[in-house]
């Protein structure tokens, strides 16, 4: 982490790639500026001395929830697949996942 929350277009492009959103150059420029502005306010959080403070991931104490491993009704497969952009042979259908061999 640096002291200055400056974000370049390249940083924004990297984050957009991680988030799987195709952004235009205009959008990357705009988000780089806007994210930097929000991160300026986050700087007071980042700069705080929190030694000895435990993180809170959840507001209330939670325990793992288990139930008996019994077969129960679930959503109807055909109804679920009817909502998919593409389905075939009882499965979700997607474009190819693997690229051509180099």
Partner 1 sequence: MTGDGGETRPEAPDGPTGPAIDIARRVRAGETSAREVVEHHLGAIDRYDGELHAFVTVLHDAARAEADALDRRVAAGDDPGPLTGVPVALKDNMCTRGVPTTCSSRILDGWLPPYDATVVERLRAAGAVVIGKTNLDEFAMGSSTENSAFGPTRNPYDLDRVPGGSSGGSAAAVAAGLVPVALGSDTGGSIRQPAALCGVVGMKPTYGTVSRYGLVAFASSLDQIGPLTGTVGEAAVLFDAIGGHDPRDSTCLERLPPRSASAVSEGVEDLRIGVVTELLDGVDAAIAARVRQAADALSAAGAKIEECSVPELRLALPAYYLLAPAEASSNLARYDGVRYGLRVDADDVEAMNGATRAAGFGAEVKRRIMLGTYALSAGYYDAYYGQAQKVRTLILDALSAAYQRHDALLGATTPTTAFAIGDKVDDPWSMYLSDLCTVPSNLAGHPGISVPFGCDDAGLPVGVQVLAPALGESVMFQVAAVVEHAAPHMAEPGVLAR
Can you give the binding site for partner 1, defined by CB under 8 A? 1, 7, 11-12, 15-16, 18-23, 27, 31, 34-35, 37-39, 41-42, 44-46, 48, 50, 53-60, 62, 65, 67, 75-76, 79-80, 83-86, 92, 94-97, 99
We find the least distance from the C-beta atom of residue 5 to partner 1, in angstroms, to be 9
CB closer to partner 1 out of 69 and 79: 79
Q: What secondary structure does DSSP assign to 11-68, as a single string?
A: HHHHHHHHTT----HHHHHHHHHHHHHHHHHHHHHHTS--TTPPP-SSSS--------
Q: How far is the CB of 48 from partner 1 (least distance, A)?
A: 6
Count the Cβ atoms, other than its own, within 10 Å of residue 87. 15
d(CA 38, CA 51): 24
Minimum CB–partner distance for residue 46 and partner 1 (Å):
5
């Amino acid at each position: 982490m640096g002291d200055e929350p400056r974000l370049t277009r390249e940083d924004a492009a990297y984050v957009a790639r991680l988030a799987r959103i195709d952004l235009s150059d205009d959008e990357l420029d705009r988000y780089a500026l806007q994210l930097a502005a929000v991160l300026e306010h986050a700087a007071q959080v980042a700069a705080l001395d929190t030694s000895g403070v435990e993180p809170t991931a959840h507001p209330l104490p939670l325990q793992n929830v288990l139930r008996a491993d019994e077969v129960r009704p679930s959503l109807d497969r055909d109804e679920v697949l009817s909502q998919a952009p593409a389905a075939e042979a009882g499965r979700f259908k997607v474009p190819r996942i693997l690229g051509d061999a180099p």
